[in-house]
Structure 1
Amino acid sequence: MDLIDRETRGRTDLPQLRGQGVFVTDGGLETELVFHDGRELPAFAAFPLLDNVEGRARLRRYYRGYLDIAQAQRAGFVMETPTWRANPDWAAQLGYSAARLDEINRGAVALAREVCVDATAAGIGTVVSGCVGPRGDGYDPGAVMSHREAQDYHAIQIGSFAAAQADQVTAITMTTVAESIGVVRAAEVAGLPAAISLTVETDGRLPTGQPLHEAIDEVDAETGAAAAYFMVNCAHPTHFARAVEHPGGWRHRVAGLRANASAKSHAELDDATELDDGDPHDLAAQHRALREHLPAVRVLGGCCGTDARHVAAIVGAWTAD
């Protein structure tokens, strides 16, 4: 499949794929709640905040910081729901029934719509994205599902997003090609565009050892390039800077970055008891250095350890002449 074919199949009417402007998305929600707020997050899950008035208010304040960046930069905003852990296996660990989980995922989209009202009033273009997380650990592929198993598993959460009329789904911290393919196929059945965000280790390869470019090419080959676009998240730019130098049309399929503040490995971050939030301006400079290799990037945010400071610096550096 050549570049023109892939760009044609992957194209949707999502506003972040039109024009040359950037779209801001959020940073490290879970690490902000744990290390800035001092909250306990069993299973590293943020979605239980949707269960009460105080939690929903905290989420609105969190997203407000990123809306301010979008407004200052005259950028758009991808409102990612706080549902990275809101899939059946993780929710069951936290005592959520299937029916309650459906309500949570639908409620997350409703909250996102409420947040976007303020954005629209401020003239900010918005996209509501239902956030899908991995079935297993975000750093370890664990027992690899087949394409079909992944499709059936993720179809449950994606179905809730579709019923609530999300604009798209974004699968964050995908560790395997098979699970990524399953998400793309489940989203296609549900009638929603899907963005796939892969994570890599310090060597620029997926936790399975597969090179980044091969993973994106394989997902496209197996799905007919049905994904709207790809992203990279939960890795520091120094981890994948060499990987994006690999030539090929795959680089035009990468439309988003959500990097970690820390250059530590996944194993080191897993063991960390203190927040490593790095240097926002250095992180921004590391992003800027990626521009020549990733010409299609339009969505910019952060992941572990980042907050609004980091994302503001990243967007500013990326868009500077």
Structure 2
Amino acid sequence: MVNLVVWLTKSFDYRKTQHNFLRVFQMKKMDCQTRCSLAEVQGIPMPEFFVSYWERVEKFQAFKGDLLIATYPKSGTTWTQEIVDLILNQGDIKKCMRAPTDERMPFLEWTESDPTLSGITRLQKMDPPRVIKTHLPIQLVPHSFWKAGCKVIYMARNPKDTVVSYFHFDRMDLTQPEPGSWSEYLEKFMKGQLAWGSWYDHVKGYWRERENKAILYLFFEDMKEDPAREVRRIAEFLGQQLPESTISGIAQNTTFTAMRKNPMANYSSIPDTIFDRKVSDFMRKGEVGDWRNHFSPEQNAVFEDQYKKMMANVPIPFRFEI
């Protein structure tokens, strides 16, 4: 398999991709003079500019063969997308460099006043089968996905690392609501007041339906522990028979280091007026256990108490370190 970093160095036209990103993100609401607010869809807080056009999402037509990649925010979404794209392209890096992640695998609920910039518009221009990203809790996934029998890959991450990553993302992403202090943000997370709602409800919703629907439930920590094993599981779920050399190559080319250097996956072409990289990078650490650098002993004790109560009836095997 071609080494990703070497191939990028020789072949990547950065200026063309930067131009495309700048064009895509010239949005009326994205001047970042003010951060967005949240509104609700069926009791779930969402960015207000998504909610304004919710009917388009609700009525989205999925087709047989479409694949949905679902996650709570900051749980390994882009990582999963890139692995899936490489699997579907037999590990061919060049094919996966055809466009940025969000163009190859559009964000379902990303909706704007300019319809040409929405995920749905992009999806409607693509021939099935399509790979589609969402952060929607399972009850908000358009019914057409279930009616068509679409497969779903759900990536879950332990809540402590999730909230830490989400906090730094919201500090950096100037289109998101003002995060406030770490203590304030953690409190909002525990109350389910961040965009896309309660982490607890999100992970439990997909877990409960994993045997009733075609859902492959993955864990971020498992992927970090043994990438090749999890890549193999995904490939088998997708009906792809790949040689071990290809499996190994996909795992190698989707490490955190490789992804961070991949301009088609690292969102590096989003302008600094949207992503304040002086605050944080889009791909910051990608570690298991970074929560220890943020939670005070008191915060951890309170969080542990809530976690035990909220997860008592749903034994999802999350790990907080590996």
Q: Same fold (TM over 0.5)?
A: no
Structure with greater contact order relative to length (CA < 8 Å, sep ≥ 6): 2
Higher normalized strand content (fraction of residues): 1
User: What TM-score comes out, normalization by structure 2 length?
Assistant: 0.27
User: What TM-score comes out, normalization by structure 1 length?
Assistant: 0.27
